[in-house]
């Protein structure tokens, strides 16, 4: 057996969803429904026509930079690709 040869499989946990997308500036507003998001986390956007991963480089709450966002809050995140309202957001751990 080759245990540990490929490392531990990453887990994807549903953390929230996109509630608004500003297409001109490529910013998604995410409603965090579980756990919390922290700068440096890798997240996955998965929806009807969307499926990509990215690392969180920065976040804002009411136009002010923040390091983390907890359950029940909304955060604006610059995204690398188009997304839509209702797209599910998963954190990869």
The CATH number fitting domain 12-92, selected from 3.60.150.10, 2.40.30.10, 1.10.240.10, 2.60.120.620: 2.40.30.10
Please give the Cα distance from 10 to 73 (Å, whole number). 25
3-state secondary structure of 67: coil
Q: Is the pLDDT of residue 2 over 90?
A: no
Look up tokens 């540990």; give the residue: 4
pLDDT of residue 27: 97
Residue in 24, 36, 22 with CA at minimum distance from that of residue 74 = 36
Please give the Cα distance from 8 to 42 (Å, whole number). 16
pLDDT of residue 5: 58
Q: Six-digit token pair at 40?
A: 């440096």
Residue in 74, 55, 72, 60 with CA at minimum distance from that of residue 25 = 60
Q: What is the pLDDT of residues 48-79, one digit of tens each?
A: 889 999 999 999 999 999 999 999 999 999 99
**pLDDT, the chain, mean:** 92
Q: Is the pLDDT of residue 4 over 60?
A: no
- The predicted model scores a pTM of 0.86
């Amino acid at each position: 057996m080759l245990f540990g040869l490929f490392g531990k499989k990453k887990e994807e946990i549903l953390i929230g969803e996109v509630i608004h997308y500003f297409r001109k500036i490529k910013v998604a507003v995410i409603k965090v429904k579980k756990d919390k998001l922290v700068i440096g986390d890798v997240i996955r956007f998965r929806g009807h026509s969307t499926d990509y991963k990215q690392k969180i480089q920065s976040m804002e709450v009411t136009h002010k930079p923040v390091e983390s966002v907890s359950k029940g809050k909304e955060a604006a995140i610059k995204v690398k690709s188009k997304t839509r309202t209702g797209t599910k957001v998963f954190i990869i751990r």
